[in-house]
């Protein structure tokens, strides 16, 4: 029987990044992915790296991971990482807050935004990365990645695949995204929240991420523009809908009218893994290591999660910013 130091169930951005960091510590790691690597939520993600202030613990975690991103991206090569900043637009005077720019100042920064914009907030620290290119680079660096390997059962020291074969490991890491509690670990408090994004081709007259209340527009240097994202509480439904496509296009055109001139090339739907407090689960749980529940921020949080998983697998202390995200915090 095959045996590894660690088997990681799930080849999304979290599982792949964790495997890479663990491998760099000299561990023998195998990633098992039931479809294609990065084919889950990672494929739908826009790659916005925006440490939105939420709870104090989350903000510290998100800021720390955002700081790790530039070195993480540099190690991987050209993955479209750029600290482009965001401009959050307001269309109503009542939305304006302290420190917001007026409409003219916004248009001086980003001439492509709508003439109806009355003001905006500049967030210089925001960055973006192309999650699909991140996956491509990670895949090339992994010694043992098995795709089309559907894990049907897990114990803390072994996994069983749909073809009946078993693989043993010192540790089993659960990184199966929104699907982890469906079949593998039913008591883990992670549930799916659907999101849809659109990919368009053609150069947009914008350099920053343009955000408004309902949409974000992500112009990439490659000439791709990503529009996101819906938030739909509909269980394990991963279908794209014409309604969502129309809504995202309409809202994006309201923010940046030239979106109307771009060619729609792809609509994607996937499931975000959500926990009861919207914070991730990183750490020990019933004999497993869990790296999941990253909800809307899995790409942003990949570098710090990978550091934590690799440290825990190697018997070291994880970064202290991950302490509040102990998977056992919901147990009574
Ligand atoms: C529309 C949308 C937009 C988003 N935009 C952003 C963004 O801009 N910035 C950001 O930071 N985050 C964003 N996110 C969130 C981000 O995509 C997720 O938090 C992140 O992908 C979670 O990574 P993961 O590896 O845990 O899950 P996933 O990427 O879903 O990967 C889990 C993998 O596990 C595999 N798997 C499941 N069950 C099994 C099994 N039994 N056996 C083997 N393999 C299995 C799946 O096939 C999948 O590939 C977005 C998400 C969505 C849906």
Could you read off the pLDDT of 134-169 as tens digits, one per residue? 999 999 999 999 999 999 999 999 999 999 999 999
Mutate to test the pocket of ligand 1, among 11, 17, 42, 178 (most ligand atoms within 8 A of CB): 42
Considering only CA atoms, which residue is closest to atom 16 of ligand 1? 298
Residues 173 and 232 in one domain: no
Is residue 296 lining ligand 1, measured as CB closer than 6 Å? yes
Q: What distance in angstroms lies between residue 194's CA and the mean position of ligand 1's atoms?
A: 11
Among candidate residues 120, 8, 41, 78, the one with its CA nearest the CA of residue 300: 41
Q: Say yes or no: CB of residue 40 within 6 Å of ligand 1.
A: yes
Check whether residue 7 and residue 55 sit in a common domain. yes
- Is ligand 1 within 6 A of the CB of residue 13? yes
Q: 139 CA to middle of ligand 1, Å?
A: 15
Q: Is 34 in the pocket of ligand 1 (CB under 6 A)?
A: yes
Instruction: Give the residue-averaged pLDDT of 80-98.
Output: 95
55: Cβ contacts below 8 Å, ≥ 6 apart? 277, 279
Residues 180 and 306 in one domain: yes
CA–CA separation, 211 and 199 (whole Å): 16
Domain CATH code at residue 110: 3.30.9.10
Ligand 1 pocket member 303 (CB < 6 A)? no
Same domain, 109 and 177: no
Are 58 and 202 contained in the same domain?
no
How far apart are the CA of 12 and the centre of ligand 1, in A? 5
For residue 168, the Cα-to-chain-centroid distance in whole angstroms is 29
The pLDDT mean for the chain works out to 96
> pTM for this one?
0.98
pLDDT in the model for residue 2: 85
79 belongs to a structural domain: no
C-beta of 160 in contact with ligand 1 (< 6 A)? no
Tokens of 227: 């529009």
Looking at the structure of the chain, the number of domains it has is 2
Q: Are residues 60 and 168 in the same domain?
A: yes
Read off the pLDDT band of 52 (50, 70, 90): confident
Domain end among 274, 289, 306: 274
C-alpha distances in Å from residue 37, one per residue of 73, 105, 227, 305: 18, 43, 22, 18
Determine how many CB atoms are found less than 10 A away from the CB of residue 66: 21
Structural domain ending residue among the three candidates 238, 256, 274: 274
Neighbours of 98 (CB within 10 A): 5
Nearest to 113 by CA among 217, 256, 220: 256
Position 7 pLDDT exceeds 80:
yes
Reduce the DSSP state of residue 260 to 3 states and report it: helix
* CA 175 to centroid of ligand 1, rounded, Å: 9
**Confidence band (pLDDT; 50, 70, 90) for 131?**
very high
Check whether residue 159 and residue 23 sit in a common domain.
yes
DSSP annotation of 3? E
Domain with 307, as residue range(s), is: 2-74+130-190+277-330
Instruction: End-to-end CA distance of the chain: give it in Å, rounded.
Output: 38
Q: CA 319 to CA 277: how far, in whole Å? A: 20
Nearest protein Cα to ligand 1, atom 15: 296
Q: Is 80 part of any domain? A: no
DSSP per-residue codes, 53-101: --SHHHHHHHHHHHHHHHHHHHHH--S--B---EEEEESSGGG--TTPE
* Element (DSSP H or E) covering residue 24: helix 13-24
Q: Are 77 and 247 in contact (CB under 8 A)?
A: no
Which tens digit of pLDDT belongs to each residue from 250-292? 999 999 999 999 999 999 999 999 999 999 999 999 999 999 9
- Number of Cβ within 10 Å of residue 213's Cβ equals 12
- Residue 53: the pLDDT is 65
Report the half-sphere exposure of 322 (CA within 13 A, side-chain side): 28
CA-based nearest residue to 145, from 33, 58, 277, 234: 33
Bridge partners of 196, per DSSP, are: 269
- For residue 218, the model assigns a pLDDT of 98
Within this chain, do residues 66 and 196 fall inside the same structural domain, yes or no? no
Decide the pairing of beta strands 191-201 and 216-219.
unpaired
Give dist(CA 55, CA 320) in Å, integer.
16
Residue 318 DSSP code: P
* Distance from the alpha carbon of residue 181 to the mean position of ligand 1, in angstroms: 14
Residue 14: CB within 6 Å of ligand 1? Answer: yes
Residue 56, pLDDT above cutoff 90: no
């Amino acid at each position: 029987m095959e045996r590894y130091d660690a088997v990681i169930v799930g080849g999304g951005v979290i599982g792949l990044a964790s495997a890479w960091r663990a491998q760099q510590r000299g561990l023998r790691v195998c990633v098992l992915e039931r479809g294609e690597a990065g084919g889950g939520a990672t494929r739908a993600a826009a790659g916005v790296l925006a440490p939105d202030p939420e709870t104090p613990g989350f903000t510290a975690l998100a800021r720390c991971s955002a700081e790790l991103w530039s070195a993480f991206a540099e190690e991987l090569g050209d993955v479209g990482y750029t600290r482009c900043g965001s401009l959050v637009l307001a269309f109503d005077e009542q939305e304006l807050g302290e420190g917001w720019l007026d409409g003219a100042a916004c248009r001086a920064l980003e001439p492509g935004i709508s003439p109806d914009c009355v003001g905006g907030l500049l967030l210089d620290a925001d960055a973006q990365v192309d999650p699909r290119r991140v996956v491509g680079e990670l895949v090339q660096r992994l010694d043992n990645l098995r795709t089309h390997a559907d894990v049907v059962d897990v114990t803390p020291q072994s996994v069983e695949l749909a073809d009946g074969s078993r693989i043993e490991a010192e540790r089993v890491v659960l990184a199966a995204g929104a699907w982890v509690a469906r079949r593998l670990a039913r008591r883990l408090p992670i549930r799916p929240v659907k999101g849809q994004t659109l990919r368009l081709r053609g150069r947009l007259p914008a350099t920053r991420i343009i955000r408004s209340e309902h949409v974000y527009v992500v112009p990439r240097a490659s000439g791709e523009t990503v529009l996101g994202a819906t938030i739909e509480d509909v269980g394990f439904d991963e279908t794209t809908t014409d309604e969502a496509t129309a809504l995202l296009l309409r809202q994006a055109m309201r923010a940046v009218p030239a979106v109307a001139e771009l060619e729609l090339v792809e609509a994607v739907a996937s499931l975000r893994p959500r926990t009861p407090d919207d914070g991730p689960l990183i750490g020990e749980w019933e004999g497993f290591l869990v790296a999941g529940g990253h909800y809307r921020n899995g790409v942003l949080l990949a570098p710090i999660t990978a550091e934590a998983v690799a440290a825990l697998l190697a018997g070291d202390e994880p970064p202290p910013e991950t302490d509040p995200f102990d998977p056992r915090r919901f147990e009574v």
